[in-house]
Amino acid sequence: MKFGQWLGLVSLLASLVLLWSLRQSMLNLFGALVLAMGLCTLTGSVRERLNCSRALALLLSIGLIGTILAILLIAVVPLFVDQFLHLLIQVPHAGAFVLDLLRNAIEESSSVFNGKNVGSLTWLKELRIDYVAAGNALASSLIKFAEEAGSGIVQLLFVIALSLMVAVQPNAYREVGIQLIPSFYRRRFRQVLVQCGNSLSAWMVGVLISSICVSALSAIGLSLLGVKLVAANALLAGLLNIIPNIGPTLSTVFPMSVAVFDGPWKSLAVLLLYIGIQNLESYIITPAVMHKQLKLLPGLTLTAQLVFTVIFGPLGLLLALPLAVCIQVLVREVLISDILDPIGHKNVEC
């Protein structure tokens, strides 16, 4: 290899190392772009319906979001926090209750088949878990999480501020990014970015509608079953619905923990309710509201969650799906259409 080639290779490796060290900042930047895209989508809808200028539509959109957040902070968040704390207290007690039920069921089954004076289940009777210590450990973990949340709040403020800046002048920021692309590919890459933006907009609208439907159905179903702490469980179901595969599974833990005290049948009924809601969401609600969105295979979605969680941490899990949406557009349009299979496509040169 010549000196120039070695220099280029070293520069490439140095760039990769730099990007790896800045991966959290890059993820925060991507999160800001996702929020900006959502705000731009809402602004476009307001502008289309009211036939007003973009500046006025943007102000109305920010005002609408601020009003909704104020209502949530005043009316919903205190109730949610109170009920969520009760949920956290119920989980270890529910575990003890379930363990007692298992002990009794195993003892009765053993007495039926082996006689009542077997004495071989003394280990089961002596099995005890210090749920007070488990609760204290959970509380200490929550305190540690709260202490570490300070840096997260600073990052969140940065993401919100950056998203507002991008939403004010989205075309200007997009053109700055396009200038980093070689001149012969800029026109084509501009089209690819537009497709990424449209896919992200469709994904956000679809997830919002889907989460609202899941939250409403959970509230109705839990109310009919007579399960306590309906507001916290319904909000958790809607929020965790943003995280596919993993979120819906986690959302069943808390309502089942509350329902198990009223009887195992009610806990089973809650499980069946959530399975029904998730199937309804997966096969009816999501296809209906996301018919224009990219179709992501469940296996690819789960793989993206695993990979991005390992690389970026919990925030990577939250942003795994929008990252997968953008990557799929880039792979389809750039790698496949323009590089691997350019036949039938227009020349990308300006």
- Tokens 């002596």 correspond to 126
Max alpha carbon distance in the chain (Å)?
A: 88
CA dist 319 and 304 (Å) reads: 10
Most confident of 6-10, 238-242, 301-305: 238-242
Whole-number pLDDT of residue 349? 43
Residue 69 is encoded by which pair of tokens?
A: 């957040």
Residues 267-308 pLDDT 10s: 888 889 989 988 888 777 776 666 555 566 667 777 887 888
- Write the DSSP assignment of 194-258 as a string of letters: HHHHHHHHHHHHHHHHHHHHHHHHHHHHHHHHT-S-HHHHHHHHHHHTTSTTHHHHHHTHHHHHH
- The helix/strand count (H/E) of the chain reads as 16, 0
Q: 46-60, 118-132, 199-213, 280-294: which has the minimum mean pLDDT?
A: 118-132
CA dist 327 and 318 (Å) reads: 16
CA dist 339 and 321 (Å) reads: 25
Residues 68-121 pLDDT 10s: 888 877 766 676 666 666 666 666 666 666 666 666 666 666 565 555 544 444
Residues 172-206 pLDDT 10s: 888 888 888 888 888 888 888 888 888 888 888 88
Is 25's pLDDT higher than 60?
yes
Comparing C-alpha atoms, which of 213, 237, 214, 242 is closest to residue 301? 242
Neighbours of 290 (CB within 10 A): 18
CA dist 15 and 103 (Å) reads: 59
Q: Write down the pTM of the prediction.
A: 0.69
For the chain, the domains span 25-340
CA dist 341 and 338 (Å) reads: 6
